[in-house]
Amino acid sequence: MIETLYKTKIPQTTAWRQQFYELRLGEQNVDGQPGYFVRETQCWWDPRAKRMVRVQYTLSPREGFLTIEEARERYQLQRMNRARGGFVHSFSPCYEPTKKSVYVLIEITRAVEA
């Protein structure tokens, strides 16, 4: 699963100079055992270098989450945190050549008090 989060609904050439986030959920073997990983890549334009900067963070334990459900929960938590920061426009790739990416406006839910 992968999606890109923006503050604007229609990313354009000028909008690429703004930051955005890519969220990924995937499976990977670690020490012969399957684990589920949540990763986030923060991206922004560096005007001095005139290039996109991408910094990846792993939001999972080193060995990964034991279940896909745990990984999905962490993924959804990070997705909601970014939405609360204004990144409510989500685009996911569609791998059919005749279709565009899938757009979703993320609805912000209240944080649960502990």
Predicted confidence at residue 87, as pLDDT, reads 96
Q: Residue 24 — very low, low, confident or very high, per pLDDT cuts 50/70/90? A: very high
Contacts of 103 (CB under 8 A, 6+ apart): 9, 89, 90, 91
Tell me phi and psi for residue 82, to 5 degrees: -70, -40
Please provide the average confidence, as pLDDT, over all residues in the chain: 90
Confidence class for position 45, pLDDT limits 50, 70, 90 = confident
Highest mean pLDDT among 11-20, 28-37, 66-75: 66-75
Band the pLDDT of 113: cuts 50, 70, 90.
Answer: low
pTM for the model stands at: 0.86
pLDDT(3) > 80: yes
59 vs 39: CA distance, rounded Å:
5
Q: Taking the domains of the chain in order of start, what are their residue ranges?
A: 2-105
β-partners of residue 35 are 28
